[in-house]
Amino acid sequence: MERNILEEKFFEKYGNRSLRPVLFFSPGRVNLIGEHTDYNGGFVFPCALNYGTYLLIRKTNSNTLNFSTLNFDCDESVSISGMFKNTSKKWINYPLGVVNEFLKRDKTITGLDLLYHGDVPNGAGLSSSASIEMVTAVALNDLFSTGFSTLELVKMSQKAENEFVGMNCGIMDQFAVGFGKKDHAIFLNCDTLNYENVPVVLNNNVLLITNTNKRRGLTDSKYNERRSECDKAVEYLQDYKKIRNLSELTSGELVLLEKYIPDPVIKKRAKHVISENGRVVEAVKVLRENNLARFGELMNLSHDSLKEDYEVTGFELDTLVYEARKIPGVIGSRMTGAGFGGCTVTILSKKHVKQFIKELTIAYTSKTGLDPDFYQPEIGPGAGKIN
Ligand code: GLA
């Protein structure tokens, strides 16, 4: 949405045209490979999108935070008096959780008018929530001159999501939207938080995101279940090695799972995490060598492992991925994000995009009764102020 239209909506809502609000943007993200590895201290390879959340914000003389969004009907005012508690108004828990992180660090937050507008679909595995958190975090940091580094803001946003919203996510999403760089993906070690920006050169190919449009159901509870299954695997493996997380093991040690993990389900979960880490490292290497064909194969293998061993895909994601792979020009296709619904990411040749959209829509709709949505994103920069 154009800035002046957004600004007009802001003034319609909050009045006082003499005081212009400041504009911030935070992207969503798509993860190219490295799924369900972040909370296991592993590698991920996400990139920031040119879709995300815009926030117009200005200070007021009052003692209230006025929240509004253009995405749905929601106007909420909360007064500032000590720490906030999680509210039943689900959406404002994201920004409110971030405000709380500032308060916890003894920063003074005074009255604000805030207007959000997101163009990344909600709950589709493209980190709409991390995007709302980070846009709030960078805006507060700027307006109140609190001096937090990007990494601190990323950690504060993750904490808001873990402790205030109550979703026990890893650090990938907030990190990706905080540290995104145009035309680059982020090769992040989630244990050390060391990272490198790797150029994504696709030659005559493009990234295409496809939304299953499946309603998000059990994602959060299944997500937490997977996390505890990984903890269980680490427990079993103590007899072999004193590891802190599954990512301390390499693909060469996969054979040992048979010996140390008696539970077949837990064994499969560990196998996914350890093999996925290996795939991320290889994917980054081959991308640097401009070997997109192998990169695509690794994307496919990643999805297969998420389906067979980690069991987080489901009929809709699998249909999109396996039907996509039948269409000419497709280099690789996999689910992205937490799974169970949400989106797939595909690399395919530019000239096949139209055919892809047409054929995949027909196949997917006839099998699932749902209409997919397609987005052709660019890889953009991380969260910040827009001048
Ligand atoms: C969600 C979480 C991330 C990560 C992915 C799976 O997006 O927020 O932290 O665990 O799922 O890779």
Sorted by sequence, the CB contacts under 8 Å of residue 63 that are 6+ apart come out as 79, 80, 81, 110, 111
152-165 confidence digits (pLDDT tens) = 999 999 999 999 99
Active site residue 38: no
CA of 333 to the centre of ligand 1 (A): 18
Separation of alpha carbons 301 and 60, rounded Å:
52
* pLDDT for residue 110: 97
User: Which atom of ligand 1 is nearest to 38's Cα?
Assistant: 10
The answer to whether 83 and 104 are in contact (CB under 8 A) is: yes
Pocket of ligand 1 (CB under 6 A): 35-36, 38-39, 169-170, 172-173, 337-338
The mean pLDDT value for 288-311 works out to: 98
CB atoms closer than 10 angstroms to residue 19: 12
Which residues neighbour 377 within 8 Å (Cβ) at sequence distance 6 or greater? Answer: 30, 49, 50, 51, 207, 209
Predicted structure pTM score: 0.97
pLDDT(216) > 80 = no
| Across 297-324, average pLDDT | 98
Percent of the chain residues topping a pLDDT of 90: 93
**pLDDT for the residue 218:** 65
Residue 327 corresponds to which tokens in the numbers above?
Answer: 């269409």
pLDDT above 70: residue 189: yes
- Contacts of residue 20, defined as CB under 8 A and 6 or more positions apart, other chains included, come to 7, 58
Tell which atom from ligand 1 comes closest to the C-alpha of 31.
Answer: 12
Q: Determine which residue's CA is closest to atom 1 belonging to ligand 1.
A: 338
How far does the centroid of ligand 1 lie from the alpha carbon of residue 27, in Å? 16
87 confidence band (pLDDT: 50, 70, 90) = confident
Q: Whose CA is nearest to atom 11 of ligand 1?
A: 338
Ligand 1 geometric centre to CA of 258 (Å): 27
Report how far residue 275's alpha carbon sits from residue 269's, in angstroms, rounded to the nearest whole number: 10
> How many CB atoms are located within 10 Å of the residue 12 CB?
9
Burial of 114 (0-12, 13-18, 19+ CB in 10 A): buried
Please list, in sequence order, all residues whose beta carbon lies within 8 angstroms of the beta carbon of residue 286, skipping any fewer than 6 positions away: 292, 294, 295, 298
Q: Whose CA is nearest to atom 8 of ligand 1?
A: 169
Q: Place 267 in a pLDDT band, splitting at 50, 70 and 90.
A: very high
For residue 123, the model assigns a pLDDT of 80
Mean pLDDT of 6-22: 97
